[in-house]
């Protein structure tokens, strides 16, 4: 889709409806798609962090989660249409997964939080398949076993909740190993679902 360049960071200029259509089509695809939901802080960070800049540019979908991005876009006539938050997009993706018996894995949050989140999600989104969960505070040397667990779970969708930009860097680093169809960085959403 059309991109809006906010301080040279390309953000998809799409509505929530279009973002939902896109992300759900990714679930039915056969290669990993990377979805990020940056706020203005990430756009600022990408100005000085070349790696983050490349990572965002290589994403399959980048939705404008911060109202500041919409304001910046309107001021400069950059073409963003409306705010598409990670929390809202995740909600719609969970609805799709529930209706289509797709499986999800949540990685991130303090110990116990991801488990609470998937428990609440299973109750709220009937029909969804919970493939697994993992907190976001394991040791560096445990990363391979975490990735094995995610892959063996057979999850269609992986929500990575390590905060930005840690989650975007994590997804990028492991993109060639991950077998899921969608890896989406959604920060504090794990805490919201944990209630």
- Contact residues toward ligand UDP (CB under 6 A) are 108-110, 136-137, 161-164, 166, 187-188, 190-191
Side by side, which strands form the sheet with 182-185? Answer: 61-62, 33-36, 182-185, 157-161, 103-108, 129-134
Residue 43 or 161: which CB sits closer to ligand UDP? 161
Query: Smallest distance from the beta carbon of 25 to ligand UDP, in angstroms?
Result: 25
The tokens of 13 are what?
A: 């200029």
Residue 149 or 191: which CB sits closer to ligand UDP? 191
Measured at CB, which residue is nearest to ligand UDP? Answer: 136
Query: Smallest distance from the beta carbon of 168 to ligand UDP, in angstroms?
Result: 10
Asked if 125 contacts 106 with a C-beta cutoff of 8 angstroms, the reply is no
Query: Smallest distance from the beta carbon of 2 to ligand UDP, in angstroms?
Result: 26
Residue 86 or 102: which CB sits closer to ligand UDP? 86
Pairing of strands 182-185, 129-134: unpaired
Residue 102 or 184: which CB sits closer to ligand UDP? 184
Residue 151 burial class via C-beta count within 10 angstroms: exposed 0-12, middle 13-18, buried 19 and up: middle
């Amino acid at each position: 889709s059309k991109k809006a360049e906010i301080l040279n960071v390309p953000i998809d200029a799409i509505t929530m409806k279009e973002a939902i259509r896109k992300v759900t089509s990714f679930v039915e695809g056969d290669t990993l798609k990377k979805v990020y939901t940056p706020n203005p802080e990430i756009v600022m960070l990408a100005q000085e962090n070349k790696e983050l800049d490349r990572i965002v540019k290589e994403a399959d979908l980048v939705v404008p989660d911060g109202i500041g991005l919409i304001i910046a876009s309107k001021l400069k006539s950059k073409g963003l249409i409306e705010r598409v938050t990670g929390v809202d997009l995740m909600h719609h993706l969970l609805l799709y997964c529930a209706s289509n018996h797709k499986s999800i894995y949540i990685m991130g949050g303090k110990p116990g939080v991801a488990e609470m989140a998937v428990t609440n999600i299973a109750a709220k989104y009937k029909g969804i398949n919970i493939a697994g969960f993992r907190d976001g505070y394991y040791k560096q040397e445990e990363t391979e076993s975490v990735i094995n667990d995610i892959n063996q779970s057979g999850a269609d969708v992986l929500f990575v909740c390590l905060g930005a930009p840690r989650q975007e860097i994590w997804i990028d680093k492991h993109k060639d190993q991950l077998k899921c169809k969608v890896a989406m960085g959604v920060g504090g959403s794990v805490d919201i679902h944990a209630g």
